[in-house]
Amino acid sequence: MTQHSKSWTLKPGAMTLGDLRAVWAAPAKLILAAEAYPVIEASAAAVQAIVAKGDAAYGINTGFGLLAKTRIPDEKLEQLQRNLILSHSVGTGELLSDAVVRLIMLMKIGSLARGFSGVRPLIVDTLIALYNAGIMPAIPAKGSVGASGDLAPLSHMTLAMLGVGEVRINGELMAAPEALAQAGIAPVVLAAKEGLALINGTQVSNALALHGLFMAERLLEAAMVTGALSLDAAKGSDSPFDARVHAVRGQPGQILAAQMYRQLVAHSAIRASHLEGDERVQDPYSLRCQPQVMGACLDLIGNVGRTLLIEANAVTDNPLIFQDGPNGQAEIVSGGNFHAEPVAFAADTLALAIAEIGALAERRIALLIDATLSGLPPFLVRDPGVNSGFMIAHVTAAALASENKSLAHPASVDSLPTSANQEDHVSMATFAGRRLDDMAHNTAVIVGIELLAAAQGIDFHRPLKTSPHLEHVHHQLRQKVPFFDADRFFAPDIEAAKQMVLHGELSSTCKNLFAPLYA
């Protein structure tokens, strides 16, 4: 099973985006703060008291959805919860990645541990044991509409706790009973309300949106680097990055982006070479308006992060147990926190940023291959005609930018009623979050192609050098991809550049420069 070199303590309701990024990036041993256990135990005791009293309470001793009026005998409550999980495990499609599943499990543990869901400590501890053993439930990506919670995917998560279905360990599928036995984890028998508490909630939608957020952060950093590199390759001007220009507008992301661009291009010999005598008065928008566009993306990404962090710490199942009811008695309250509209809106707006990062980069590629605009050899290759150079690499970028336009259509404006119209408005947040991965990979390719094109342009200006920051990026690329001196099999070069974008390599040596993005 998985061995962890790091551990950290989860305090329910107090996770940070830094915590979530770390869990997304790599597994670490999870310890639940000791102060969480008394509130978990009190909530579970409240459920048992309701069962003992015999009053009807949704999800505890009734059916679900439109079957809420059906009363369930006490002797069938365990069967009710198990049947709930089996019947709701109807997901389809590819399995969610381990990074996403880790986020799902972490957020579900944090939510249950806040003590409003009525589960026993055993349930929380079993989830933690699975997480720490690296046992990732096999969760199909499709099958949730984002209300009433992510029922189908969370049911697949819960199956693993029951010792049913499959799990993944170190990327390999294994039968859940075998994996639990090897880890010394006993399958659980669900008590009243526990199945519902496990599968009600927005954790899958939010994990997918967080995955998109963390990808978008890397894309933003990389595209700012490649945009600065393209500026020098095209012998553009850094005057539009003047702090005074952005201060009089006042948009915070734009001001910050302009500051970053100034630092990225500072001390460039290429820029110094055309400070005087340049006939061009203004650069095209894809160069000149980078702070305005990327700054807007920066602000949007920041807003999305705030929404998703709130949701990551939230309690989103139904019904909820409150200890401050009448006469100091516990009270069960039905609500609708499982409706993932905030996540859907956040994911939809994040899609706009991912699409625009790619769209702007595609325009810069088009500029660089156009000799009349860039002053560089046509299609960035010597002996054009015999060589096609970057001609069709740009076509690939254009195809992916166009695809992202379709994928950026908001998912949240659609709603198909479910559960015989009991659940008559849903968020579609799960798809809203899931499509971000495709969009991010598309944009990573576009930015990767821009990296190749801009580096090619810099090479044509030798012996002049670009800025120290950008020279380092250029050197990193040339360790993996040589100068494009004549037509060759191009796809491996594009893949190598894409991976540099996805792994954050373009900003790896200037993290301090991008630190304000995460302030």
Q: How far apart are CA 419 and CA 431, in angstroms?
A: 19
Torsions phi, psi of 290, nearest 5?
-60, -45
Which H or E run includes 30?
strand 29-32
Residue 496 has, within 13 A of its CA and on its CB side, a CA count of 13
CB of 182 within 8 A of CB of 316? no
Return the number of other C-beta atoms located less than 10 Å from residue 340's C-beta: 34
DSSP summary character for residue 31 = E
3-class secondary structure per residue, 427-488: CCHHHHHHHHHHHHHHHHHHHHHHHHHHHHHHHHCCCCCCCHHHHHHHHHHHCCCCCCCCCC
Torsions phi, psi of 195, nearest 5?
-60, -45
Q: How far apart are CA 172 and CA 152, in angstroms?
A: 22
Tell me which of 58, 261, 285, 518 is the catalytic residue: 58
Would you call 410 exposed, middle or buried from its count of C-beta atoms within 10 A (0-12, 13-18, 19+)? middle
DSSP summary character for residue 144 = -
DSSP line for 118-134: ---HHHHHHHHHHHHTT
List, in sequence order, every residue forming a beta bridge with 423; answer none if it has no partner. 418
Which residues are within 8 A (CB) of 111 and not within 5 positions of it... i.e. 6 or more apart? 12, 117, 201, 203, 314, 315, 316, 317
Is 131 an active-site residue?
no
What's the CA dihedral at 91, 93, 94, 98 to 10 degrees? -20
Would you call 376 exposed, middle or buried from its count of C-beta atoms within 10 A (0-12, 13-18, 19+)? buried
Number of residues written out for the chain: 519
Smallest Cα–Cα separation from 227: which of 395, 371, 378, 359?
A: 359
List, in sequence order, every residue forming a beta bridge with 384; answer none if it has no partner. 387
Place of tokens 């659940």: 423
Q: How far apart are CA 216 and CA 438, in angstroms?
A: 12
Place of tokens 């706790």: 161
CB of 71 within 8 A of CB of 56? yes
Q: How far apart are CA 45 and CA 478, in angstroms?
A: 63
- Catalytic site residues? 58
